[in-house]
C-alpha cells in the first residue's frame, strides 16, 4: 500500500538493494515499492543486478520508484554505480549468495559491503544474515560465513548504523521451482524429525522496509525472523488441505541418499534436528503482525 502519511511529501529515501532479483533482494524491492505511488515516492530504490534485461529485473523496474542498476556484484563497483544516481544513500540492504561460492569469497564480499557503506555514511545498513540456533558454532559453512561478517561489522564499524536480520529456513525453498524443490522436500521428510521454523522471503522484505522507514529505531537491532514452526508432516497436511494435492516431493529414499552423500547438506540437516532454529515468533509478530504462517504462504504465494 502506498504511503499516505506526511512523510510521503518529504524527499525520497534512497535505498540500495543488492541482489535485487534474488529471493531476499526482490522481496525488499517489492516491500519498499509498496510505499510508493504514481504521485509520491517514499523510497527511491536502486536495485542492483547482473542482468537488468532479465524478466525478473524488468518486472521489478516496472514498480513505482524502482531503478535497476546493471553491475557485477563487486562492493566498490556497486556503490560507485549507485552514486552516479546521487551521492546520498539513506540505506543499504546487503545480502550475499552462499551457493556456488566459498566461505572466503562470501566473507570478503560481505565485509567489503560494510566498508563501502561506512565510507558512504549510509543512514542504515541492513545485513541479511541467518539464525543459528543460538550456538557458538554450527559447522555449516554458509552459516559461519555470516557469523564472521556480523563479527567484522561489530569490530571494524562499531559506529555504522546497522540492523541485522537473521531469517530461518525459507518457505520459498519449497515453492514450485521444479525438481530441486521436490528433492529438498523429500530430504526434509526423510531426515528432519523435529518441528522446523520457516519464514517467507516476502516477510524478510517487509521487515527490512520497516527498518528503512525508521532507521533510528533499528540502529543496533538484531532480529531473528520466523513466521511458523511445524513438523514436516504438518506442513504436508496443511498443504493438502489448502491445495487439494500432496506437497510436491519425490521419493524419500532419494532425499535421504542426497543428504547422506553430500557432507555440507548432512551437516545442515543435523542442525535442523539439533539444536534447530530458535527464533522468537511472537517477537517477530510484534514487529510484523501479518507475518505469514506456512499455510498462509501456501495460500498466497504458491
227-245 pLDDT, tens digit per residue, is 999 999 999 999 999 999 9
Overall average pLDDT of the 253-280 stretch: 97
**What is the pLDDT at residue 6?**
47
Overall average pLDDT of the 118-140 stretch: 97
- What percent of the chain stands above pLDDT 90? 91
pLDDT band at 100 (very low <50, low <70, confident <90, very high): confident
54-83 pLDDT, tens digit per residue, is 999 999 999 999 999 999 999 999 999 999
pLDDT band at 85 (very low <50, low <70, confident <90, very high): confident
pLDDT band at 144 (very low <50, low <70, confident <90, very high): very high
Report DSSP letters for the chain, one per residue: ----SGGGGSPPEEEEESSTTSHHHHHHHHHHHTT--SS--SEEEEEEES-TTSHHHHHHHTSTTEEEEE--S-HHHHHHHHHTT-S--SEEEE----TTS-HHHHHHHHHHHHHHHHHHT-SEEEEE----TT-S----HHHHHHHHHHHHHHHH-TTS-EEEEEE-EEGGGGSS-SHHHHHHHHHHHHH--S-EEEE-HHHHHHHHHHHHHSHHHHTT-EEEE-SEEE-HHHHHHHHHHHHSSPPS---HHHHHHHHHH-HHHHHHHHHHHTT-----HHHHHHH-TT---HHHHHHHH-
User: Could you tell me how many residues make up the chain?
Assistant: 302
Whether 87 shows a pLDDT value over 90: the answer reads: no
What domains can be seen in the chain, in order of their start residue?
6-171+198-227+277-292 (3.40.50.720)
Overall average pLDDT of the 87-110 stretch: 94
Whether 248 shows a pLDDT value over 50: the answer reads: yes
- 47, 17 contact by CB (below 8 A): yes
Look at 255 and 6; give whichever has higher pLDDT.
Answer: 255
Amino acid at each position: 500500500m502506498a504511503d499516505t502519511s506526511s512523510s510521503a511529501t518529504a524527499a525520497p529515501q534512497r535505498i540500495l538493494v543488492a541482489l535485487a532479483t534474488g529471493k531476499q533482494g526482490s522481496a525488499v524491492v517489492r516491500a519498499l515499492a509498496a510505499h510508493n505511488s504514481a504521485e509520491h515516492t517514499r523510497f527511491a530504490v536502486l536495485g542492483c543486478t547482473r542482468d537488468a534485461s532479465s524478466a525478473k529485473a524488468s518486472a521489478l523496474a516496472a514498480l513505482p520508484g524502482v531503478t535497476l542498476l546493471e553491475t557485477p556484484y563487486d562492493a566498490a563497483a556497486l556503490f560507485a554505480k549507485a552514486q552516479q544516481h546521487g551521492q546520498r544513500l539513506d540505506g543499504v540492504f546487503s545480502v550475499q549468495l552462499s551457493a556456488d561460492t566459498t566461505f572466503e569469497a562470501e566473507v570478503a564480499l560481505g565485509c567489503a559491503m560494510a566498508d563501502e557503506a561506512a565510507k558512504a555514511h549510509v543512514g542504515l545498513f541492513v545485513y541479511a544474515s541467518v539464525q543459528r540456533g543460538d550456538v557458538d558454532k554450527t559447522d555449516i559453512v554458509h552459516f559461519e560465513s555470516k557469523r564472521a561478517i556480523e563479527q567484522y561489522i561489530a569490530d571494524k564499524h562499531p559506529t555504522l548504523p546497522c540492523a541485522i536480520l537473521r531469517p530461518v529456513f525459507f518457505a520459498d525453498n519449497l515453492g514450485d521451482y521444479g525438481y530441486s524443490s521436490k528433492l529438498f522436500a523429500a530430504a526434509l521428510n526423510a531426515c528432519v524429525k523435529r518441528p522446523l521454523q520457516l519464514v517467507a522471503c516476502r516477510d524478510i522484505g517487509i521487515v527490512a522496509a520497516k527498518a528503512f522507514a525508521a532507521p533510528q529505531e533499528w540502529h543496533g537491532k538484531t532480529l531473528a525472523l520466523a513466521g511458523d514452526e511445524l513438523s514436516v508432516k504438518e506442513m504436508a497436511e496443511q498443504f493438502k488441505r489448502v491445495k487439494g494435492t500432496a506437497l510436491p516431493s519425490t521419493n524419500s529414499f532419494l532425499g535421504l541418499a542426497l543428504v547422506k552423500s553430500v557432507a555440507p547438506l548432512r551437516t545442515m540437516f543435523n542442525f535442523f534436528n539439533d539444536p534447530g532454529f530458535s527464533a522468537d515468533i511472537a517477537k517477530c509478530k510484534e514487529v510484523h503482525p501479518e507475518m505469514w504462517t506456512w499455510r498462509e504462504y501456501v495460500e498466497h504465494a504458491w
